[in-house]
Amino acid sequence: MSEIKVNKISPRSGTGVTLGDSGDKFTVPSGSNITINSGASIVNDGTATGFGDTDTNDKVKVSTNDTTAGFLNGKLVAGTNISLTEGSDGGNETLTAAFSGNLNASVINAGTIATARLGSGTASSSTFLRGDQTYATPAGGTNTPAFQACRTTNQSISNNTFTKVAFQTQNFDITNVYDTDVYSRFTPGIAGKYYIYTQVQMGGLSADAFYISIYKNGATWLNIRNGTDTSGEYILTGAAVDTADSNDYYEVFAYQNSGGALNVIGYSDAAARIYTAFGAYKIIT
């Protein structure tokens, strides 16, 4: 094996120097270094091999000092509201990044926040999130049962007799609590406090007494009287709050003492005008 010893190789002409021919191999012995000075570069016009491009065991080092305990942690800056926790020292150091403090809601611009992150309790279509971050059911539930019925025709009321008023047309009955066919009565079916009201128009009065009564379970509960100084038609209205059990029921009765039969007035178009009505709804407590 021949050996050439020189301190510098320079091109004889031009700026390029070629080492060997195609297929030749140049070996750098173990322990030797090739130094690339500042400002110089290595240009790869072919394919570089053996630099770990397919070696999954190769590691990327921050610097030659990454085997120093705490070196990686000392070189990385966490930033606002982010903390870094070192998992190991030296060798293959690991860092865990964690968020702390407050996150501005404006940065959440996509995705869905899990209900478990909003508050404690059970989130459902029947609960709401309170200011103390707990889920709760609405106080007192909903204001149903609720109904209103009216008369669309006149009804004859006998003299000196409390006669039940039949409100034969429903304006609404959300939970089917008013019977229009047989009893003409409101039966809540659910215990609670209820606002109960009625309005009755009587025609043909002349200095006569006129009463309307809301009956509860077949007996007078609320009684209203007009006096004895009216003439022509007269309207009485009444409303009150009562605590009902699930099996209580309510009806409306009318009384007049004109000496003959008189009519409670109805109106044929219940959507346009109501003279005589009966209704109720549950109060949220």
- The CATH number of residue 208's host domain is 2.60.120.40
- Check whether residue 152 and residue 135 sit in a common domain: no
Same domain, 253 and 183: yes
Indicate if 273 and 150 belong to the same structural domain: yes
Mean pLDDT, residues 243-248: 91
Query: Distance between CA 225 and CA 60 in Å, rounded?
Result: 97
Q: Specify whether 210 is located in the same domain as 124.
A: no
- Per-chain mean pLDDT for the chain: 81
Query: What number of helices (H) and strands (E) belong to the chain?
Result: 1, 17
User: What is the predicted pLDDT for the residue at 72?
Assistant: 59
Expressed as residue numbers, the domain containing 166 is 146-282
pTM for this entry: 0.56
Same domain, yes or no, for 77 and 199? no
Query: Does one domain contain both 157 and 228?
Result: yes
Residues 154 and 213 in one domain: yes
Work out the burial of residue 123: count CB atoms within 10 Å of its CB; fewer than 13 is exposed, 13-18 middle, 19 or more buried: middle
Residue 60 pLDDT greater than 50, yes or no: no
Whether 191 is in a domain gets the answer yes
Residue 51 has pLDDT above 50, yes or no: yes
The Cα–Cα gap between 65 and 209 comes to 107
The reply to whether 27 falls in a domain is no
Q: Is residue 11 assigned to a domain?
A: no
Q: Is residue 57 part of a domain?
A: yes
If one counts the domains in the chain, the total is 3
Clarify whether residues 122 and 164 are in a common domain: no
Average pLDDT of the segment spanning 182-193: 92
Q: Say whether both 264 and 239 belong to one domain.
A: yes
Average pLDDT over residues 61-72: 57
Range from 46-50, 57-61, 195-199 carrying the lowest mean pLDDT? 57-61
Give 106's pLDDT tier (boundaries 50, 70, 90).
confident
Same domain, 124 and 58: no
The verdict on 89 and 213 lying in the same domain is: no
Task: Lowest mean pLDDT of 8-17, 80-89, 164-173, 229-238, name the range.
Answer: 80-89
